[in-house]
Structure 1
Amino acid sequence: MSLTTSNHRIKIDVMRLISSKFDVSTFDNYRHLVVKFHGPADTPYEGGVWRVRVILPENYPFKSPSIGFDTQIFHPNVDQTSGTVCLDVLNQKWTALYDLVLIFDTFLPQLLKHPNPDDPLNQCAALVLTRTPERYKYVVEKHVQEFANPEKIRRWEGIPEEVEQEESVSELSDNEVG
């Protein structure tokens, strides 16, 4: 795949992600993204908002993107220091048929709904989950309140809600994608 074709696919995927109502900031010719990701309903992550960084390699979509949480999250399959995500569909089973919308609509919500303590990047979270699931839920909810609370994030960023919504609109145009 040529660099031009790869860039075209990247722009299409970013536009689809924005069209799916995700708040996306782009950098470095759309190869670096920051996406605001909301915790899935009916999980202890519900109500939380995380900034997730995405780095798209030169041979994307044939090589998987690098995904990491910039906002701290307590989860067995997310490294608490780096935010790196351990997810088979990203690391071993990636295919060019997958796209950014699938990552944020399906893969990450499923990761939060169904943590895998048998393959942890965060040993502490894995131990708490396996030994005392009620405590795990409590710790996750406390982390959401402390680190992923939408009100606190706006205050830390110093951005009023109205301005934040205006700035989340992408600079992509239909001409760039088509």
Structure 2
Amino acid sequence: MGDFDYSRKKKKKKGENHRGMASPSKRREMDMMKLMMSDYKVDTINDDLQMFYVTFHGPTDSLYEGGVWKIKVELPEAYPYKSPSVGFVNKIYHPNVDESSGAVCLDVINQTWSPMFDLINVFESFLPQLLLYPNPSDPFNGEAASLLMRDRAAYEKKVKEYCKAYAKPEDIGAPVEVSSDDEDEDDSMSDRGSDTDDNDDIAGKADP
């Protein structure tokens, strides 16, 4: 048998650290690519991979169903070893979200975050869980937390009022979708309007 060359070392792939794991910058790129290839709408700012916006819809069977929010995401230099910070741009009524700034209580993410998670997990797991299961004992919005514990029905009503007032597509700058029924109704109204104009013209003519 030939002698084994112990001087040879396995070369690291570009973007890997000494443990064979992707470096933070490479991991950011990969996670951003996965997020942008998913069903989520992502808006970057000057191709910045550390701060961007994602369109998020309220989870099904929750008080927030039907609402849509623009979420601001900031990735720390140490991502994914440190969790991203997220905040709601348009208003939401929730005990764990600051009403004025939209900031989400970091403990909600930090308590369970690990490098195994990626950005898609934020929008498919962390935020839906936050909206489905608010924690009034650790509030960012003291009024919402107090109302939730004191009067659940009043709390639910206020959540829905905020969704109706602040969480529509136009509130995040998205175009409003017009249903085919609305278009048909507009067309029929236009037809009725033109018929009326024609009748007015006929009625206004003098008899010969």
Moved more, 20-29 or 96-105: 20-29
- Whichever residue aligns with residue 47 of structure 1, its letter is G
Partners of 1:89 and 1:5 lie apart in 2 by 25
Q: Which runs of 5+ in 2 are unaligned?
A: 1-15, 178-208
Question: Of 18, 33, 54, which aligns to 2:52?
Answer: 33
Partners of 1:160 and 1:93 lie apart in 2 by 36
Moved more, 45-54 or 7-16: 7-16
1:10 match: secondary structure? helix
1:31 match: secondary structure? strand
- Whichever residue aligns with residue 118 of structure 2, its letter is D
1:50 match: secondary structure? strand
Q: Which runs of 4+ in 1 moved over 4 A?
A: none
Partner of 2:31: 13
Partners of 2:36 and 2:108 lie apart in 1 by 22
Q: How far off is 1:87 after superposition?
A: 4.6
Partner of 1:47: 66
Partner of 1:96: 115
- Whichever residue aligns with residue 5 of structure 1, its letter is S
Q: Kindly, what percent of the aligned residue pairs are identical?
A: 46
1:18-167 aligned within 5 A: 18-27=36-45, 29-150=48-169, 152-153=170-171, 157=173, 160=175
Partners of 2:72 and 2:23 lie apart in 1 by 23
Q: How far off is 1:89 after superposition?
A: 4.8
- Whichever residue aligns with residue 67 of structure 1, its letter is V
Deviations 1:67-110 (A, max 9, x none): 11111100000011111111535234421111111110011000
Higher relative contact order (CA 8 A, sep 6+): 1
User: What is the RMSD computed on CA atoms of the aligned residues?
Assistant: 2.0
Q: How far off is 1:161 after superposition?
A: 5.3
2:48 match: secondary structure? coil
TM-score for both structures, normalised by structure 1: 0.81
The number of equivalent residue pairs is: 157
Contact 2:35–2:119 (8 Å) recurs in 1:
yes
TM-aligned CA distance change 1:160 to 1:78, over 3 Å: closer
Contact 2:85–2:106 (8 Å) recurs in 1:
no
TM-aligned CA distance change 1:114 to 1:160, over 3 Å: closer
TM-score for both structures, normalised by structure 2: 0.70
Partners of 2:32 and 2:73 lie apart in 1 by 11
